[in-house]
Amino acid sequence: MQTLRPVGQGASARKYDILTALGAYALAQGKHDQRRVLRLMTLVTARYNWARDELAVGQREIARLWSVDERTVKREMALLRARGWLVVRRQGTRGRVTQYGLDLGRMLDDTAPQWPAVGPDFELRMGQGDAADDTVVPMPVKGNVRAPDISPGTEWALAQAVLHGNDPGLYASWIAGLERVERAGGRLTLRAPSRFHGAYVQTHLERRILAACREVDGDVSEVRVVV
């Protein structure tokens, strides 16, 4: 499941949605999980760099923010890594704190059962509602839509084939124009032909694209669109 990084157009709303999903999930859990998720939400709100997917905070600073000791911080961060919500980007060394990223896809997978509790509008906005695809507007396409070339064998070439098979018109309108830029860990970066095209893909197709990518490569956890 999920998600393009919440940056650019609509980023603020997406951040609130992610925090709402975490809050709704926490409230459905026991007190220990509630407290753990609240601690993460506070840390993300105070120190997470959304644009760079970077959380670089020392244990002492986290302990002060959480009103706990550093031993508790070490345990809680380890449990969040084990859950898959926190990912180590760069291990800390002497004089340098550990740099973390967030696996937003895993977070949304885990919190999805609580989305209906927020409301049908939230569920629809997060891509789970029955009418989620009604806002996607395929442009008129004449004739047969040629299938993508899968000879490169990349995750994007194979994902394009999946997307073409599901909806050739939609593929021709919005997917075919996206170019693969690079792959870094679980992050796949694509380039859109224009700012409008990229913003439209982010708003309406992000979940569908990531689902196709994960179908052919389960290690893909994020799709980023640049111009």
CB atoms within 10 A of CB 31: 7
Give residue 140's pLDDT: 52
- pLDDT at 132 (0 to 100): 40
The pLDDT value given to residue 67: 97
Average pLDDT of each block of 10 consecutive residues along the chain (227 residues)? Answer: 54 82 95 96 93 90 96 95 91 84 88 87 63 49 74 92 88 91 93 87 85 90 88
Residue 120: other Cβ atoms inside 10 A: 13
Q: Tell me how far apart the alpha carbons of residues 22 and 119 are, in angstroms, rounded to a whole number.
A: 14
Q: Are strands 222-226 and 86-90 parallel, antiparallel or unpaired?
A: unpaired
Q: What does DSSP say about strands 187-191 and 222-226: parallel, antiparallel, or unpaired?
A: parallel
- Under 8 Å between Cβ of 59 and 70: yes
What is residue 131's predicted lDDT score, i.e. its pLDDT?
A: 41
Q: Which amino acid is at 104?
A: L
Q: What order of strands is seen across the sheet that includes strand 187-191?
A: 179-184, 187-191, 222-226
Residue 6 is predicted with a pLDDT of 64
CA dihedral (75, 79, 80, 86) positive or negative: positive
Looking at residue 17, its pLDDT comes to 87
Q: What is the pLDDT of residue 1?
A: 46
Query: Would you state the pLDDT for residue 10?
Result: 56
Q: What is the pLDDT of residue 138?
A: 53
Give me the pLDDT at residue 196, please. Answer: 83
Residue 49, exposed/middle/buried by CB under 10 A (0-12, 13-18, 19+)? exposed
Q: In angstroms, rounded to a whole number, what is the distance separating the alpha carbons of residues 11 and 17?
A: 10
Provide the CA 51 distance to its chain's centre, in angstroms.
12
User: Which phi and psi (to 5°) does residue 169 adopt?
Assistant: -65, -45
Query: Residues near 9 by Cβ (< 8 Å), separated by ≥ 6?
Result: 199, 202, 203
Q: Are strands 187-191 and 179-184 parallel, antiparallel or unpaired?
A: antiparallel
Residues 6+ apart with CB under 8 A from 152: none
189 bridge partner residues: 182, 224
